[in-house]
Amino acid sequence: MFQNLKTAFSKTFDAISGKGKLKESDVLAAAREIKLALLSADVHFTVVKDFVERVSAQAVGEKVLSSITPAQQFTKIVHDELISALGKAHQPFDFACSPPLVTMIVGLQGSGKTTTAARFALLCKKIGRRPLLVSVDVYRPAAISQLKIMAEKCGVDFIDADPKTKPVKIAKEARRHAERFGYDTLIIDTAGRLHIDDSMMDEVREISKKVEAQRIIYVADSMTGQDAVKSAKAFNELLEITGVVLTKLDGDARGGAALSVKAVTGKPILYVGTGERIEDLEPFYPERMAGRMLGMGDVVSLVEQVQANVDQGEAEQIARKLSGGRVTFDDFVEQLKMMKKMGPLEKFMGMIPGFGTIADKIDPVTLEKELRRKEAMISSMTKSERSNPKLLNGSRRKRIALGSGVSVTDLNRFIKEFERYSQMMRKFSKGGMKKLFKGLTTQAFS
């Protein structure tokens, strides 16, 4: 995810990190590199222009140039501006409405509308709502059957419409059915086209009007970059969408759509699709996504995944250890083992501080080997060294490197990664790691 951006940001920050003081020319040169990185990532040009201007205006001030750690100050400015571009703060989906809450899923063909409709229905079910799914896509072969199969997989009720019936009639009947049988959420999966055309827009407008849709979710394929943003803008101008769902984010190496859509449409990103499983629809948090773009990790999302996929007792045991604010190499190994139970390692590695760029650069097989190397380094440490990383002086590091078959440089790099990881975990421990592991599923969908 966001491999190109992470690599570009990493190079830019590395170039200035070794300098004790920054000159204005250093900052402006870094800003130019960021501009090129964003343009290469297919970010909308007006978004790039505003972003770089804001970063430059702040970075050339006394706060950075006279700072003891100017590189860190500059990184923070970039991080804060990324958050702002992504939407500033998490905006949850608004379920407050007299039932049934009629929600239309719209977008171009191939963007993932049908999958998103089913995933959203499952999300509604998890938070205690009673959703009803219906497809009005009578044009694409087997579109209705596809949603029916996914609805059964989610354990959600579905209206099996006749594909010979007009879409508007199917939608109206579905609303009456929802009202009659007490469904509090009606989710309508609409038809898509390969491009925006008048007949498509006329149809979704008419459906929206006839069923009195209260929410309209636009589904965009994040991998199409600016095309996704342009079509989102067109839909918003004609329909007044509620928000956007970005699909296939796990395969998006650029990040242009994520960084552009809020600024261009004025509408928030509500959810993101991050995998192949039916459960892989996550609420969108600008701060967390900015951390991923910079390769800083996303500990909160990682904890949520743990809570949802790992035995509660095992998760709470680790939470108790971390709540003391002290992280050991043994804790690190335990969490790696726990992650292996959760699914593809490459998906979760990017959430760990210090591992963001590693996960995207190497394939799953190589990633597995890299993790085994890290486990070998830890295994070559004594019990006291694993418990207290401060003991790792030069001679100890040479012994550990020799025992694990790596170079001292590789070991030093891993220790730095671990220190960053440890600092991040201590940060969250101050707010109560146990609280993070408990009840996060409910909070995530609120």
Q: How many C-beta atoms lie closer than 10 Å to residue 417's C-beta?
A: 17
CA separation for the pair 445, 392 (Å, rounded) = 43
Q: Kindly state which CATH superfamily the domain 3-86 is placed in.
A: SRP54, nucleotide-binding domain (1.20.120.140)
Tell me how crowded residue 356 is: count the other CB atoms within 10 A of its CB: 26
- Alpha carbon of 177 to those of 70, 117, 127, 147, 210: distances in Å? 62, 18, 22, 18, 15
CATH 1.20.120.140 residue spans of the chain: 3-86
Q: What is the pLDDT of residue 326?
A: 67
DSSP state letter for 165: S
Q: Using CA atoms, how far apart are residues 197 and 109, in angstroms rounded to an integer? A: 12
pLDDT in tens, 44-57: 999 999 999 999 88
Mean per-residue pLDDT, 63-91: 82
Structure-token pair, residue 120 = 């959203």
Q: What is the pLDDT of residues 298-316, one digit of tens each?
A: 555 565 666 566 666 665 6
pLDDT tens-digit series, residues 12-26: 888 887 676 778 888
- The pLDDT tens digits of the residues spanning 210-249 come to 999 999 999 999 888 888 888 999 999 988 999 999 998 8
Every domain of the chain with CATH number 1.10.260.30 lies at 299-444
Determine the 3-state secondary structure of 269 from DSSP.
strand
Looking at every residue in the chain, the average pLDDT score rounds to 82
Give the CATH number of domain 101-293; options: 3.10.310.70, 3.40.50.300, 3.40.640.10, 3.10.129.10. Answer: 3.40.50.300
Q: What are the residues whose beta carbons fall under 8 Å from the beta carbon of 261, sequence distance 6 or more?
A: 220, 228, 229, 232, 244, 246, 267, 269
Give the span between the Cα atoms of 70 and 16, in whole angstroms: 8
Predicted local confidence at residue 16, as pLDDT: 81
CATH class of residue range 299-444: mainly alpha
Radius of gyration in angstroms for the set of CA atoms belonging to the chain, rounded to a whole number: 24
Helix, strand, coil tally for the chain in percent (to 5): 60, 10, 30
Are residues 396 and 42 in contact, defined by beta-carbon separation less than 8 angstroms? no
Q: What percent of the chain has pLDDT over 70?
A: 79
d(CA 36, CA 366): 30
How much of the chain, in percent, has pLDDT values that exceed 90? 44
Beta carbons within 8 Å of 368's beta carbon, 6+ residues apart: 345
168-221 residue pLDDT tens: 999 999 999 999 999 999 999 999 887 888 888 899 999 999 999 999 999 999
**Rounded to two decimals, what is the model's pTM?**
0.70
Taking a C-beta distance cutoff of 8 angstroms, is the pair 297, 353 a contact?
A: yes
Sole residue written with tokens 């250890």:
321
Residue in this structure with the two tokens 């900052």, named with its chain if needed: 27
**Which pair of tokens denotes residue 156?**
């959600």
Give span(s): CATH 3.40.50.300, the chain: 101-293
What tokens appear for 31 in the block?
A: 């800003």
Strand partners, 157: 132
**299-309 vs 408-430: helix crossing angle, rounded to 10:** 80
Cα separation, 72 vs 92, whole angstroms: 31
CB–CB of 181/68 below 8 Å? no
Question: Which residue type sits at 143?
Answer: A
- List residues bridging with 168 in a β-sheet: none
Q: Which residue would you say has higher pLDDT here, 83 or 435?
A: 83
Nearest to 321 by CA among 310, 309, 308, 333: 333
Q: Is the pLDDT of residue 324 over 80?
A: no
Nearest 5°: CA angle at 157, between 152 and 160? 85
Residue 330 CB burial class (10 angstroms; 0-12, 13-18, ≥19): middle
